[in-house]
Chain A
């Protein structure tokens, strides 16, 4: 029994991603001696928050059998409109209002994706490529967006910290922002959604086999509509997290991040054909990508090559998972053929 579970564990990607993280950490530690320091770990956790939030939504979309490249555009436009258009420049009230407005705007933008994907059954990649272009165009065109400051409420929120880590050797300090709790909260809620609700199970069912899910009584349209609205709202929240953490509203700082996030989600074992994916794997994937990106310099890779490096990671990561799927399928076929023969 225990043998079986451990073997089953090794068939899953999560332990491997975890092993890769450990190996990479040891490598960086060996080369720089600065990996396992309090401030480096806090810095990594800090860098993980925004991609982590994005990856949760991205994972759900890929599990449902789709792909979304518009979430960074949604996050950017939602936070920008909230920050510059809706809230007054000297807004000093509760930051929750900023989150609510941005989430609402994100939800509306996600709803457009939802209508096109769920009701018109259009290909998700092309739809989200189109809406991403629409939203970034609106942001730079209609709102003439440029990097600008944030209202006091958001700035103050960005300075809320949980604790400070000090590196005595280098004299560096790093602060753990309160936003890490938002990531934890989102992870917990999405965990409950995916694990214990019919809606969450529906997302997996659609990704596994849409026709079968429909026959089994899942309302495929409603589930997809809900999913894209949720992902939009999450992106809106992430937008505010981002600008409060960096203390200014930069409309283009999140654009382009979607590829790394998708790569991280796929690295974490989410099956690109849908139906399979876990939050644990996703966060491990994001952690691996974050450590990789932050350690390129420590490992001696010149910054100009970092993009080629990301591309290679996407290809290797998806290649490995695609290969695993192929092997499982072949094994299933090998197992099922003789049993059919025996019946005959």
Chain B
């Protein structure tokens, strides 16, 4: 109810999106705060470089998660999908690449491994999407189940051990820096963000995604093939998760079934912070990107305080998530009232 009111009020006040403005203010605030608290370490070039290595893996998953949340669903299986994709690629590489092969010989194997990982991601997404769109299982339960299933398959394949001893060339390529500064993972993130942003704002498919999220029944009566569109959003989410999995694999130089366990909550937090309505229908990739940056600044800043236990991060993520929800509630209620006043 309140959710529908907020964008109406936004439209009434012109094209300026108050959510993006709020996020920008928050970003600047966190940035300035951290710069004041830790001037020697925060916001140095080296720090930016290390941040650019950290956020793409969960950032790309968060974009996939956001896409499914815009349709009114959720994909809690992103981390499981990422790990399973990486495990498939790693198992393939370990099993096939001959020992002591020259880099040139390894390249075809790497290409196949990457394709296998992406195919795994698509398949995982297709499973989740089918369960949700054809069998009408609520997205929450379906993806809780797929998260267990994919992680479980990963554990089963690897007997719970990390898959290491990958060809060196893989992590070498994975850690390439463009212009000696921009890591490959960061470039991938930018490409993904631009592509999904374009998909959502400039294509028919994007418009359908918003329509289904706003009112699935109305979308169906308008002649949309809801099942097929929902299936495709989960497949995109799966594909993006597998990209994130490949990045994680390059960073850790191994694949394991339980890497990145806290990322699930972090992705939900990013989506909600970025202005994606958990009930579906609203939110932009620009907002999600800003939310990713805010979180990365916070987390990098916190890293510089040695006294802060890693476990406080859980407290902070959980706390921030709830605060943002509460804030959005009061904000949209106020905007709603204003919209009613303006209308009358």
Stretch of A49-57, A188-196, A322-330 that contacts chain B: A322-330
Interface SS majority for chain B: helix
**Total B residues in contact with A, Cβ cutoff 8 Å:** 44
In chain A, residues 89-133, which have Cβ atoms closer than 8 Å to a Cβ of chain B? 116, 120-123, 125-127, 129-133
Q: Which residues of A contact B144 (CB under 8 A)?
A: 259, 262, 314
Closest residue of B by beta carbon distance from A70:
B318
**Total A residues in contact with B, Cβ cutoff 8 Å:** 48
Q: Which residues of B contact A311 (CB under 8 A)?
A: 145-152
Q: Which residues of A contact B309 (CB under 8 A)?
A: 140-141, 144
Q: Which residues of A contact B279 (CB under 8 A)?
A: 123
**CA A309 to CA B155, docked complex, whole Å:** 11
Total A-B contacts with CB atoms under 8 angstroms apart: 145
Closest residue of A by beta carbon distance from B269:
A130
CB distance from B172 to the nearest CB of A (A): 32
Stretch of B6-14, B112-120, B281-289, B319-327 that contacts chain A: B319-327
1/0 contact trace for B264-278 toward A, CB 8 Å?
Answer: 010011001000001
**CA A311 to CA B141, docked complex, whole Å:** 10
Interface SS majority for chain A: helix
**CA A56 to CA B307, docked complex, whole Å:** 40
Most A CB contacts (10 A, CB to CB) among B149, B160, B279 go to: B149
Q: A120-B329, A133-B314, A141-B311 are in contact. Are A127 and B141 (CB under 8 A)?
A: no
Is B251 on the interface with A (CB-CB < 8 A)?
Answer: no
Q: Decide if A134 touches B318 in the complex (CB within 8 Å).
A: yes
Closest residue of B by beta carbon distance from A308:
B152
In chain B, residues 289-344, which have Cβ atoms closer than 8 Å to a Cβ of chain A? 309, 311-319, 321-322, 325-326, 329
Q: A125-B140, A305-B152 are in contact. Are A131 and B278 (CB under 8 A)?
A: no
Q: Decide if B141 touches A272 in the complex (CB within 8 Å).
A: yes
CB distance from B9 to the nearest CB of A (A): 18
Q: A133-B315, A134-B319, A137-B311 are in contact. Are A305 and B156 (CB under 8 A)?
A: yes
Q: Decide if A126 touches B313 in the complex (CB within 8 Å).
A: no
CB distance from A162 to the nearest CB of B (A): 34
Q: Decide if B314 touches A134 in the complex (CB within 8 Å).
A: yes
Q: Which residues of B contact A263 (CB under 8 A)?
A: 145
15 new A-B contacts, CB < 8 A, other than A127-B325, A134-B319, A141-B315, are A121-B329, A123-B278, A127-B322, A129-B265, A129-B321, A130-B265, A130-B322, A136-B311, A262-B141, A304-B160, A307-B151, A307-B156, A308-B149, A315-B146, A325-B136
The 15 listed contacts between A and B (C-beta, < 8 Å) are A120-B326, A126-B278, A126-B321, A127-B322, A127-B325, A130-B317, A137-B318, A139-B311, A141-B309, A142-B312, A142-B315, A263-B145, A308-B149, A311-B147, A315-B142
| B residues in contact (CB < 8 Å) with A | 74, 131, 135-138, 140-142, 144-153, 155-156, 159-160, 265, 268-269, 272, 278-279, 309, 311-319, 321-322, 325-326, 329
